[in-house]
Amino acid sequence: MTNMDTRTNTSWNLAQAKARLSELVARANDKGPQTLTRHGRKVAVVVSPEAWERRMRRKGTIVEFFSQSPLRGSKLDLRRIKDSPRPVNL
């Protein structure tokens, strides 16, 4: 957060994050995701538990997934071939 207004910036280098962990966590809860960087590259994001749970929440059942598939009704032949297994020399 060098040379920036620390009240609005959401990017932290690892040294700052370690030194001000409590503030980092509070900002993730209050202001949204906080990005951690190492040598200027993004390495992690800290989010609130609520944001994480929203992200990980299941978005429907497997039945709904397949019923909404663009392949539904495409008449693909999905039958399994019942050939004998290939011979294997042991």
Mean pLDDT of 57-69: 85
Length of the chain: 90
Residue 44: inside a domain, yes or no?
A: yes
Indicate whether 4 belongs to any domain. Answer: no
Q: What is the pLDDT of residue 2?
A: 45
CATH of the domain at 37: 3.40.1620.10
Residue 21 in domain: yes
| Residue 27 domain flag | yes
Gap between the Cα atoms of 3 and 59, Å rounded: 41
Query: How much is the average pLDDT of 66-83?
Result: 82
The tally of domains found in the chain comes to: 1
Please report, for residues 78, 80, 87, 88, the alpha-carbon distance to residue 83 in angstroms, rounded to integers and kept in the order given: 15, 9, 12, 15
The domain containing residue 31 runs over which residues?
11-58
Q: What is the pLDDT of residues 5-53, one digit of tens each?
A: 455 689 999 999 999 999 999 999 999 999 999 999 999 999 999 999 9
Tell me if 32 is assigned to some domain. Answer: yes
